[in-house]
Amino acid sequence: MPRSDIAKRVRYVTVVLGLVAVVAALAGIKAAQISMLIGMGKQAQKSGPPPEAVATFVAERQTWEAMISAVGSVTAAKGVAVSNEVPGIVSRILFDSGATVKEGQILVELDTSVERAQLASARARQDLAQETGTRSHALLASGSISKAQVDADEAQLKTATTDSSALAAQIARKTVRAPFAGRLGIRLVNRGQYLNSGTPVAMLDAIDKQYVDFTLPQQRLADVQLGMPVRLTIEGAEGAAHEGTVAAIEPAVDSTTRTIKLRASVPNLDERLAPGMFANVSVVLPQKASFVVLPATAVIHASYGDSVFVVEDEKDDAGTAVEGPDGKPAKVARQQFVRVGDARGDFTAILDGVAEGQVVVMGGAFKLRNGSNVVVNNDVKLTPQLAPHPENH
């Protein structure tokens, strides 16, 4: 075999061996990487998922006033459709829509030109009758006229006086006045409009006080009495709750709904209440009770019951606390079923299932399951309040 052929074969063998060595090296590297990933997966499976960051709250005990809650509707303490008493044509309008008026303030004047002309004539006859009567008394003293003539002149004076008073009253009836102090609604008439008797001019509602009508179950009839304090809140409205008292209790129970109707009187000096508003009503009872409370965000509501997640130290099978990566005891969330009571502001009363002082998840509970590892982060959390006043944006 020629030397040139032998050299070629040696080169080919050398190249093939080099390629095999490269492939073997790459396969070794890949195998090492896969082995490392498998080991990391087993380690992650052994250690479980990473802990979830949650905000916590320490269950506390609060003393609450006993209340009976209901929903009601604001009603005007005094409200009327102001209207004219006699027919006529509107000559003057002396109010604007939505104006606040005083008792007796003139709102509308009807045309009284004819009545005023008749009144002027009647008063002229009255003045003449007055002078005639004065002369008659003087002549009677001198014996110049009879007593019958004096009586006739006095009757004429009384007739003229009565006619003047009747016309003055007729003019006054064509002036529409506010029957009480309050706020007017939208003006319903225009100047020059002819009004029949009883045509509404505007609605007038008293603003210093409002009524709130609400109902309670018949079982609560024995718990409520006249004069009991009432707190009223309007959904979405700013400011503190309105304070009032129970002003009336319907003596009969509604036979259809088996409820009793009550009316509360609530001052409205700040004019934040308007008739027709939907209101949340709480009748304050004289009793007080102590409850373990949690923020409403801590309670998970489900079809199978209400529950919370209690944060505890993680322990191994021997009962020894497990340390976390930071050297502190690791935390786990244990799901605990609870029985909830009334809500008050941002808080919910816990009747059973949580003891005072237990640490409970109040933020992030939706992403947990029983036994989840957690890490507590309370750097950013909301502070629950009994009487929250959220800002409207």
Residue 347 and residue 364 in one domain: yes
Decide if 283 contacts 228 (C-beta within 8 A).
Answer: yes
Distance CA 21, CA 40 (A): 29
Decide if 338 contacts 304 (C-beta within 8 A).
Answer: no
pLDDT, one tens digit for every residue, the chain (393 residues): 566 666 667 677 777 777 777 787 787 788 778 877 776 666 655 555 678 888 999 999 998 888 888 999 999 888 899 999 999 999 999 999 989 899 999 999 999 888 888 888 888 887 887 877 777 776 767 767 777 776 776 787 788 788 788 888 888 888 999 998 888 999 999 999 999 999 999 999 888 889 999 999 999 888 899 999 999 988 777 767 889 999 999 999 999 999 999 999 999 888 888 888 899 999 988 888 889 999 999 999 988 899 999 999 888 777 677 776 666 788 889 999 999 988 888 899 999 999 999 999 998 888 888 888 888 888 877 778 766 655 554
Residue 316 and residue 363 in one domain: yes
Domain range holding 233?
Answer: 68-77+209-287
Residue 267 and residue 303 in one domain: no
Residue 166 and residue 59 in one domain: no
The CATH number linked to 278 is 2.40.30.170
Residue with tokens 């004219």: 84
Q: Which of 287, 308, 336 is the last residue of a domain?
A: 287
Residue 261 and residue 329 in one domain: no
72 belongs to a structural domain: yes
Residue 188 and residue 277 in one domain: no
131, containing H or E segment: helix 113-142
- The encoded tokens of residue 146 equal 């009879």
DSSP lists the bridge partners of residue 57 as 360
One-letter identity of residue 113:
S
3-state helix, strand, coil in the chain (%, to 5): 30, 40, 35
Residue 72 and residue 219 in one domain: yes
The CATH number linked to 87 is 2.40.50.100
162 belongs to a structural domain: yes
Nearest in space to 331 (alpha carbons), one of 347, 309, 351: 309
Report how many domains make up the chain: 4
One-letter identity of residue 37:
L
pTM given for the model: 0.59
145 belongs to a structural domain: yes
Distance CA 224, CA 200 (A): 39
38 belongs to a structural domain: no
Tell me the C-alpha to C-alpha distance, in Å, between residue 389 and each of 99, 236, 303: 30, 9, 31
